[in-house]
Structure 1
Amino acid sequence: MSLDAVLAQIDTTLPAALDRLMALLRIPSISTDPAFKADCDRAADWLVADLQSLGFDAAKRPTPGHPMVVAHGGTGGPHLLFYGHYDVQPVDPLALWDRDPFDPQLQDTPKGQVIRARGASDDKGQLMTFLEALRAWKAVHGTLPCRLTIFLEGEEESGSPSLIPFLQENAAELRADIALICDTGLFQDTAPAIVTMLRGLLGEEITIHAANKDLHSGMFGGLARNPIHVLASILARMHDDTGHITIPGFYEGVSELPDAIRAQWQNLAFDHAKFLGDVGLSLPAGEQDRTPLEMIWARPTAEVNGILGGYTGDGFKTVLPAQARAKVSFRLVGTQDPAAISASFRQWVRDQLPADCTATFTEHGGSPAGVMQITHPAFEAARAALGEEWGRAAAYVGCGGSIPIAGYFKTHLGMDAMLLGFGRDDDQIHSPNEKYDLECFHKGIRSWARLLEKLA
């Protein structure tokens, strides 16, 4: 069988594939720090050259920020778009790294060999699984498996400021039958998973203003309004005693899980006690009428991420502050509208203000949730391919975090996206000593080869 030949090619050439990944990992493509702009350009150039070696018509495309890499190749079959990002997070605090984060190394650990470097898992190791699968396919067949567009971003770790304009300006060129995104992981480190639900995100910063200056608490305490009290009282009323969110209209657009997805999630045997125990907790919070997996994958949230007011330095200062501030984030699901929730939240806050207090707001962006249409035949093909490679059935799962690109593909290109990846929970992405298991890199390449065979 031709697939067997491709898989054998992957196994035989794994050392060379690892060398290529190491070369890419040596480039410190930190997108958020202007000092590394030239390195981001260098990473884009490296990928363009690698794609050209595979027969793609590849180019570095300028943006107001870091460049995109776009490549086209192959003919016939479905038109697949593959998305990944070549930029990485900053390495701070550097002192907590066991080695230079941009001097990658294969290390032995009690759980097996790992690739240790910044970007090993997020997302250079992941995106290279797809390119290496294509390399093996071409080595065996002489051609690429089908019509392909490769789209690699350089600003994912810094908010993707150039992404939407680029999608809008190049929609006709980038539009495909389906987008494939490799920036996720395995379920509980062992089960292959396909993400079908992504929560959206809305960020709000609220400032409560009271007196026109900070006040002496001995002279004004008890008589003057304290904005920290006002802010704390409002935030405390954001949830009722059962964990439901009290902001008017908040649950508009929140739908119930399909029965088939609910049944799959129940079969996953998620150990919420271990999940919480690993971070020193034991009791589930949130909506009391929902299962733990529902709460982290399929239910919306309202969380206070930070509070600031008054004197917070060393020692003590008896002051009534003139203002108090909080950062509040909302994870969104279904068809919840970030703009509508922002407006409702702000009005809800204003309605609770005492007469001598005012509130101002700062927005920190918002993106809707992504819900994938699993009726697309690529989803069942992916479940089968992943199950064959990993030896256990692949599951459709949700993702508590937000990956806006999937929603942007739907909104701006009108196409669905499928997210599958091979990271593990202990990969320490965004943290010191990031790693990617060699097994995940190897089996990730083989997984893509199996899926390409089914799709093509």
Structure 2
Amino acid sequence: MPDINRILDAVDCELDRSLERLFALLRIASISTDPLHAGECRRAAEWIAADLTDLGFEASVRETGGHPAVIGKHLDGSRHRVLFYGHYDVQPVDPLSLWETAPFEPRITTGRTGTQHIVARGASDDKGQIMTFIEACRAYKIATGTLPIGVTMLIEGEEEMGSKHLPAFVEAHRDELAADVALVCDTGMWDRATPAITLSLRGLVYEEVRVRCADRDLHSGLFGGAARNPIHVLSAILAALHDETGRITLPGFYDGVAELPADVRDEYARLNLTPEGFLGQVGLKVPAGERDRLLIEQISTRPTCDVNGIWGGYAGEGTKTVIPAEASAKVSFRLVGAQDPAKVRDAFHAFVRARIPEDCRVEFISHKGSPAVSVPFDHPKLECARAALADEWGKPAVRIGSGGSIPIIGDFKRVLGLDSLMIGFALEDDRVHSPNEKYDLTSFHKGIRSWVRILHALAQ
């Protein structure tokens, strides 16, 4: 194996040119949700394909039915192979008036603590992140002339609009995307000085429920006390979804929810995520989840149920004394482990129907569900990556779960049979999806160095 210090020196020497390349990509306004920017999305794909070609990859822009994707391959007959995934598309920039400078004119600023930031739309999500991996490959090529393992890159252009064409694309190119493990750089650090590997993403069940009682809105002075009020009915049902300890009361809901390994729970406890630190930033202080769980478990590795919206009756100016004919709500369940979205949906429907009075009716609108995705805590590549990150950052990488979702991760497992190590260098204050999005210069620089170490470790 080559001397890793020689490769890391190449990262440091190349940093200014790495920033120039990142800035060139950031200048492309690849807003996937806006049809007016379709040409810019294609231009971003072409830019990445050209950059990978310059690096010695066999790279090309591929059609998907929507915005194009890029596949780049540098295999060299290697026995070991990784699939790297990221996305070049970005969120819209509205409201433009809140940006301090033009969102597609990247710049480096210095914060109040002296930290330098790269500011532009896409700096953190996800152009800065994908360029950490591409620049790590570049440093390896500069120092050694090759890569230590086979690398296939899949960079898409529709993540910010749900990756709707990507599952079929992955299915159609499954042989070309074959690998031992997927690497995903669309996540973050635990904190400014502590690296993290995300091992689980929660799944989702999303339901709309509508309760109907009378055949029209009623005068509450005439019918009040006798006629069923659907808001009362629905509110009581929604309130019954949790017990006094914060547990969700659907029968069978916790089937497939495993306990954390003892060493991981101890690791979480040592992180000391406090209600004051986490909830205080939004004006709260008391966790509302399961009382016997750590706060970090509540937000990442435990399932949840939330009412996302509720409406019915009169909500305009002034008064209108009616008993409404119907009331509606939107309810979401975040799933973990081996929970089955179909079983959770069926249990919710049964739970609601069992509580509907005899002369009322209920109907549901079911939206797409997705199972949770997780990587085993004893995955053979995990400790390899953790050790590499520890070498760069000087402390162990935290093994965490994410409360959100990256839909394609499930397709990598389902279609390609690949587990995904989600290793990112974004920070909580990066203002992702907001005006003045930024990516710390340290995240970019040490992110490149981290990927060099991970590639080096995986090759061994």
**Alignment TM-score > 0.5, same fold:** yes
- TM-superposed CA distance for 1:172, in Å, is 1.7
After superposition, the C-alpha distances for 1:66-123 in whole angstroms (9 at most, x for unaligned) are 1121111132141110001111122222222222222221111123111111111111
Q: Does 1:351 align with 2:344?
A: no
199-208 vs 79-88, which deviates more? Answer: 199-208
Kept in 1, the 8 Å contact 2:163–2:407? The answer is no
Aligned to 2:265: 262
One-letter code of the match for 2:51? D
Q: Secondary structure at the match of 2:61?
A: strand
1:107 maps to a residue whose letter is T
Which residue pairs with 1:88 in the alignment?
90
**Percent identity of equivalent pairs:** 55
Number of the residue aligned with 2:12 = 11
Given residue 34 of structure 1, which amino acid in structure 2 is its aligned partner? P
Q: Is 2:100 the counterpart of 1:98?
A: yes
TM-score using structure 2 length = 0.95
Contact 1:83/1:179 (<8 A) preserved: yes
- Partner Cα distance (1:117, 1:315) in 2: 45
How far did residue 201 of structure 1 move?
1.5
TM-score, normalised by the number of residues in structure 1 = 0.96
- Alignment partners' CA distance in 2, 1:432 and 1:207: 37
- Give yes or no for the alignment of 1:207 onto 2:210: yes
Paired position in structure 2 for 1:29: 30
Give me the whole-angstrom Cα distance separating, in 2, the residues matched to 1:96 and 1:229. 42
Query: What's 1:398 paired with?
Result: 401
Does the 8 A contact of 2:198 with 2:421 survive in 1? yes
2: CA distance between counterparts of 1:304 and 1:238?
Answer: 10
| SS in structure 2 at match of 1:367 | coil
Partner of 2:53: 52
Deviation digits for residues 113-156 of structure 1 (CA, Å, limit 9, x no counterpart): 11111111111111110001011111111122321110112111
Equivalent pair of 1:6/1:137 in contact (CA under 8 Å): yes
Write the mapping of 1:286-435 to structure 2, written as runs, cut at 5 A.
286-435=289-438
Task: Provide the C-alpha distance between the structure 1 equivalents of 2:27 and 2:363, rounded to a whole number of angstroms.
Answer: 45
Aligned partners of 1:193 and 1:421 also within 8 Å? yes
**One of 114, 122, 125 as aligned partner of 2:125:** 122
Cα pair 2:170 2:177 within 8 Å, conserved: yes
Which runs of no fewer than 5 residues in structure 1 stay unpaired? none
1:69 aligns to 2:47 (yes or no): no
Which amino acid in structure 1 is aligned with residue 137 of structure 2? L
Mark the CA change 1:216 to 1:19 in structure 2 (over 3 Å): closer, same or farther. Answer: farther
1:269, CA displacement in angstroms?
Answer: 2.5
**Residue equivalent to 1:282:** 285
Deviations 1:331-352 (A, max 9, x none): 1111001111111111211111
Give the C-alpha shift of residue 17 in structure 1: 0.9
CA distance in structure 1 between the partners assigned to 2:250 and 2:89 by the alignment: 37
> Residues 134-153 of structure 1: matches in 2 within 5 Å?
134-153=137-156
Structure 2: 5+ residue stretches without partners: none
Question: Partner of 1:114: helix, strand, or coil?
Answer: strand
Q: CA deviation at 1:312?
A: 2.6
Does residue 40 (structure 1) correspond to residue 41 (structure 2)? The answer is yes
The alpha carbon displacement at 1:356 in A equals 2.4
